[in-house]
A and B are shown apart, each in its own frame.
Chain A
Amino acid sequence: MIEHTRLEEILKAGSLEEILGTAVPYPKEIELKGKITRDTVEELSRIKNEPEWMRRHRLRALELFEKLPMPKWVIGVEELDLDNLILYTKPELQNEVKDWDDLPENIRKTFERLNIPEIEKKFLSGLTAVFDSESVYSQLKEEFEKMGIIMLPMEEAVRKYPDLVKKYFGKVFPAGEHKFSALHHALWSGGAFVYIPKGVKVPFPIEAFFVIGSALEGQFEHTLLVADEGSYVHFIEGCSAPMYKGFSFHDGMVEIYAHKNATVKFTTIQNWSRNVINFNNKRAIIEDNAYVEWIEGSIGSKVTYTYPSSVLKGDGARTAQYVVSLSNGPFLKDTGAKSIHIGKNTSSKIVSKSISANGGINIYRGLVRIAKGAEDSTATVSCDSLILDGESKAYTYPHNQNDEPSASIIHEATTGRLSEDKLFYLNARGIKEEEAKSLIVLGFISDILEGLPFEYVEVLKKVIELEFSEVGGVG
């Protein structure tokens, strides 16, 4: 069967970058680059044929971007020259893409090499595929459309459902939080809008897959997910990029609004190539008795900053944030999670697991804040670091603030090292060093893997094995 050979090919390849190969130039209809000015933003808004309110939203964000200072916590991004980025790329596409065959060959092949069309067919309720700045493919299976579910490229949603979008866009994660959120709101392009109506439970995951196909590209996709009362959805994000000279910049955003009793699972598996500087802005607002679960898996990129955040606004709101970060080689992951408790009886659970190898650095940065009045709320944070050799490092900077006497925060942290004796034991069982490392790493994150669908677990296992094999990984 086709899908089988495809999955197998991916599992057998030397690395995911090998599958995608080197970036190839492709026909572009429009490209905006150079200094970020009012003109650029106006031009972008014009190209997208946006309503006036969105144009003004962008311009306000641009003003904030110009005013806000560079955050002090940003390190390791010396190459980041914002004036030299391609800020927007529109691939040359046919007017309407209804099928993978309607896409230009090289774009279609990129997604095919990653097995995306097959996964869509077998396994998903809907899929959005973003290539550089645009959603090039977006399909929701008909049966789900009939249930009233909306899944559209963000731009199309702005035009088709302005009132619905306006109600949430930029309200969960405002532009003015920091310089990069402002930049994102000024330049956002691509991404998905998802709305799940009251009481609708989406049986299969919805996926968005992002590819940065060019060097010096800035990707600013925006995903907005609204789960109405009592609904359920699992949204999966995948990220990948071929190899290219020079770096690319990702400054994406996810806004989630979980209404009363809704459940949203949001899973990210980020495997950018090692020349992507990756900023993520992810936040959820969670109403009464709703539940939001984040799984944030950061494998690739040169530098990643990501801290999925949950605002527990309603009484009885719950969240769990699982953060897995692998820094294998001279790369930095600055990751963590934030939970803000406002409602009564709210609960949050943060589980962070980081793996540092071959000179990799992991930083955990977390925030738990329980506001006065969030009675009987509980928060637990567990933060485990695994360090595989002497050159690698892990740091943790948790920040807990409890202003409510009846609430509690529990924090645990462990650091494990791969000892000579443990490695020898496995060697003495015929397991070589590289294999031993991937075994230990997969064991370390096994409880988080258990929460993922089978297909993703298989690919993830393979990715981690490749990271520690003699050929793949580093460099």
Chain B
Amino acid sequence: MFMLKVENLHVNVGDREILKGVGFELGSGELHVVMGPNGSGKSTLALTIAGHPRYKVIDGRIIFEGEDIAGLSPEERVKRGIFLSFQHPVEVEGVKIIQFLQRILKNLKGLDEVGAYDVIFNAVQELGLDESMLSRFLNVGFSGGERKKLEMLQAYLVRPKLLILDEPDSGVDVDSLKVIAGVINKLHEEGTSILLITHYGRILEHLRPNRVHVIKDGRLVTSGGPDLVKTIEEKGFAAVGAV
């Protein structure tokens, strides 16, 4: 039984075709990695699955738990269990993180303020995060590592069925990287299906992916086992999958 099936996906932004036929299946509880050079369409894939209105599906299908989700709003997708950890989380001035997280838990889990507070407080401790960040404004003045850790805290609170991680390792220091990888492993062990996008491979030292896909110029050029990462690291993207 697969969690996510992407079939022959073509995606446009404006008049420009970014994805030109991408397809793969992600089994329940599996961790897949998507790699590729900058500008190859990796983030487009993530944002399209999460339902960003700027990314228009021209052809192909996205099937989540047997249902074509093309017509669903981003809110409906996250309610069904698809959670995107952003490459560039936005700043919202004046909105405290604690209030933001309480609202997420209210909308997605039906928790009231007090119940949500307990859950959030426990999660922060379990993940070894700094409590004081809860009273800061959402991502305002945050370093890359802080932003990504906050994305992971949200994923941990929401416990999605499918977690899409868009470059969780970019702009992140070594210590933050360990924390982030720790959360990913925790969720993976609990059975969360994960689609991880990266172009470094450095986070993969901490993880055990089931499968690796390589995207170049909007096309999925090759898929394989974890060994593929090593080949890419040693020989570069040019060595895998002819365009």
Chains A and B form a bound pair: yes
State which of A424, A439, A442, A446 has its C-beta within 8 Å of the C-beta of B74: A424
Residue of B at shortest CB range from A448? B94
Q: With both chains docked as a complex, state the minimum distance between the C-beta of A383 and any C-beta of chain B, in angstroms.
A: 15
Let me know if A429 and B154 touch, CB within 8 A. Answer: yes
Which of the listed residues A420, A425, A447 has the most CB atoms from chain B within 10 Å of its own CB? A425
Residue of B at shortest CB range from A446? B94
Q: With both chains docked as a complex, state the minimum distance between the C-beta of B56 and any C-beta of chain A, in angstroms.
A: 13
Q: With both chains docked as a complex, state the minimum distance between the C-beta of A165 and any C-beta of chain B, in angstroms.
A: 42
Q: With both chains docked as a complex, state the minimum distance between the C-beta of A163 and any C-beta of chain B, in angstroms.
A: 48
- Chain A contacts with B in 404-452, Cβ cutoff 8 A: 419-422, 424-432, 435, 439-440, 442-447
Contact with A along B70-111 (1 / 0, CB 8 A): 000111011100011010111011110000100110011000
Across the interface, which residues of B come within 8 angstroms of A429, CB to CB?
78, 100, 103-104, 107-108, 154
Across the interface, which residues of B come within 8 angstroms of A425, CB to CB?
86, 89-90
Across the interface, which residues of B come within 8 angstroms of A421, CB to CB?
88, 90
State which of B75, B89, B93, B138 has its C-beta within 8 Å of the C-beta of A430: B75
Given contacts A424-B52, A427-B75, contact A442 B90 (CB under 8 A): no
Given contacts A420-B53, A420-B54, contact A431 B95 (CB under 8 A): no
Residue B51 lies at the interface, judged by CB distance under 8 Å to chain A: yes
State which of B78, B94, B138 has its C-beta within 8 Å of the C-beta of A428: B78
Across the interface, which residues of A come within 8 angstroms of B137, CB to CB?
443
Residue B50 lies at the interface, judged by CB distance under 8 Å to chain A: yes
Which of the listed residues A420, A424, A429, A435 has the most CB atoms from chain B within 10 Å of its own CB? A429
Residue of A at shortest CB range from B103? A431
- Chain B contacts with A in 100-140, Cβ cutoff 8 A: 100, 103-104, 107-108, 137-138
Contact with A along B145-156 (1 / 0, CB 8 A): 000000000100
Across the interface, which residues of A come within 8 angstroms of B50, CB to CB?
428
Q: With both chains docked as a complex, state the minimum distance between the C-beta of B75 and any C-beta of chain A, in angstroms.
A: 5
Q: With both chains docked as a complex, state the minimum distance between the C-beta of A351 and any C-beta of chain B, in angstroms.
A: 13
Let me know if B92 and A431 touch, CB within 8 A. Answer: no
The complex places the Cα of A188 from the Cα of B86 at a distance, in Å, of: 58
The complex places the Cα of A422 from the Cα of B86 at a distance, in Å, of: 11
Residue of A at shortest CB range from B82? A428
Residue of A at shortest CB range from B47? A424
Across the interface, which residues of A come within 8 angstroms of B90, CB to CB?
419, 421-422, 425-426
The complex places the Cα of A445 from the Cα of B86 at a distance, in Å, of: 26
Which of the listed residues A422, A430, A446 has the most CB atoms from chain B within 10 Å of its own CB? A430
Q: With both chains docked as a complex, state the minimum distance between the C-beta of B80 and any C-beta of chain A, in angstroms.
A: 11
The complex places the Cα of A447 from the Cα of B95 at a distance, in Å, of: 10
Let me know if A430 and B104 touch, CB within 8 A. Answer: yes
Q: With both chains docked as a complex, state the minimum distance between the C-beta of A375 and any C-beta of chain B, in angstroms.
A: 36
Let me know if A431 and B104 touch, CB within 8 A. Answer: yes
Let me know if A428 and B93 touch, CB within 8 A. Answer: no
Residue of A at shortest CB range from B73? A427
Across the interface, which residues of B come within 8 angstroms of A422, CB to CB?
90, 92
Let me know if B94 and A431 touch, CB within 8 A. Answer: no
A-B contacts, 7 of them at CB < 8 A, read A426-B92, A427-B73, A428-B77, A435-B103, A443-B93, A446-B93, A446-B95
Q: Which B residues are closer than 8 A to A by beta carbons?
A: 47, 50-54, 73-75, 77-79, 83-84, 86, 88-90, 92-95, 100, 103-104, 107-108, 137-138, 154
With contacts A429-B107, A440-B92, A447-B94 known, what are 7 further pairs, Cβ within 8 A?
Answer: A427-B73, A428-B75, A428-B77, A429-B103, A431-B103, A432-B75, A444-B94
